[in-house]
Amino acid sequence: MSTRARRRRRRWFETGPVKVLGVLVALGVVAVVLVVAFNGTVHKALNELTLPLEHEDIIRQQAKEKGVDAALIAAVIDTESKFTDAESSAGARGLMQVTPEAAKDIARHSGATSFHTSDLSNPEINIKYGTYLLAERIEDYEGNVAAALASYNAGPGPVEKWGGSDLKVENITYPETRAYVELVLERQKEYREKYASELGYGKG
């Protein structure tokens, strides 16, 4: 073996393993970054699928204007429509499933010059009217959110039978309404926890 070849071989043994280790470490760092980024993307996608949030600027504005918890508004929208322009068999429309009759009454009391049923497909109008109803029910039942939600779902008549302002969730005898109230209250906690910044509670 020539002197030059021996020197080249010696240099490789002195520096080669270090270079290989460096490459492996670099590849490991890249792999970790990719895994974290992928997991973050997947987590965000799953979060948006299972707990969607849209129109947060409108929700925050209505929450502040009408004194209703923003996470509660988001939870009602999620439970009622999953943030889609839905229409129920009873004719309730839009994100918060407001009936045209209720909307006309709200429009009249809020000084709107005109109202068309198609207006309920407008997210701003629908959230405004839905939050109006929610705030009204909360006030009617002296701050009892469970009673307000039960009334939002089943109407005021059954709520009076279940205790009115003293209603407890376990007193609700309609399985559908009880499940609705339980789900909204659970979703309210989740929205406040997962979307604190977006809903105006400060840094999430």
Please, which pLDDT band fits residue 114 given cuts at 50, 70 and 90? confident
Residue 128 is assigned to a structural domain of this protein: yes
Domain of 26, in residue numbers = 1-50
Closest to 140 measured CA to CA, from 149, 131, 148: 148
Specify whether 91 is located in the same domain as 186.
yes
How large is the average pLDDT for residues 35-61?
Answer: 71
Specify whether 113 is located in the same domain as 12.
no
Please, which pLDDT band fits residue 109 given cuts at 50, 70 and 90? confident
Specify whether 156 is located in the same domain as 63.
yes
Specify whether 33 is located in the same domain as 60.
no
Q: List Cβ neighbours of 78 (8 Å cut-off, separation of 6 or more).
A: 51, 52, 187, 191
Specify whether 152 is located in the same domain as 69.
yes
Specify whether 91 is located in the same domain as 2.
no
Residue 172 is assigned to a structural domain of this protein: yes
Question: What is the number of structural domains in the chain?
Answer: 2
Please, which pLDDT band fits residue 112 given cuts at 50, 70 and 90? confident
Specify whether 26 is located in the same domain as 122.
no
- Our separate counts of H helices and E strands in the chain read 8, 0
Specify whether 45 is located in the same domain as 64.
no
pLDDT digits (tens, 9 = 90+) for 66-89: 999 999 999 999 999 999 999 998
Specify whether 1 is located in the same domain as 91.
no
- Higher-pLDDT residue of 17 and 198 is 198
Residue 200 is assigned to a structural domain of this protein: no
Residue 107 is assigned to a structural domain of this protein: yes
pTM for the complete prediction? 0.76
Is residue 197 classed exposed, middle or buried when 0-12, 13-18 and 19+ CB atoms within 10 A define those classes? exposed
Give the chain's mean pLDDT.
86
Q: Provide the token pair at 182.
A: 């339980």
Specify whether 142 is located in the same domain as 158.
yes
CATH number, domain of 160, equals 1.10.530.10
Q: Catalytic pick from 14, 56, 65, 80?
A: 80
Q: Is residue 80 annotated as part of the catalytic site, yes or no?
A: yes
Percent of the chain with pLDDT over 90: 67
pLDDT digits (tens, 9 = 90+) for 123-167: 999 999 999 999 999 999 999 999 999 999 999 999 999 999 999
Residue 174 is assigned to a structural domain of this protein: yes
Report pLDDT for 35: 44
Closest to 55 measured CA to CA, from 128, 115, 107: 128
- Higher-pLDDT residue of 8 and 37 is 8
Residue 86 is assigned to a structural domain of this protein: yes
188, pLDDT greater than 70: yes
Listed residues 50, 67, 83: the one ending a domain: 50
Q: List Cβ neighbours of 119 (8 Å cut-off, separation of 6 or more).
A: 103, 125
Q: Could you give the 3-state DSSP secondary structure of residue 98?
A: strand
Specify whether 79 is located in the same domain as 157.
yes
Residue 76 is assigned to a structural domain of this protein: yes
R_g of the chain computed on alpha carbons: 28
Specify whether 107 is located in the same domain as 155.
yes
Residue 201 is assigned to a structural domain of this protein: no
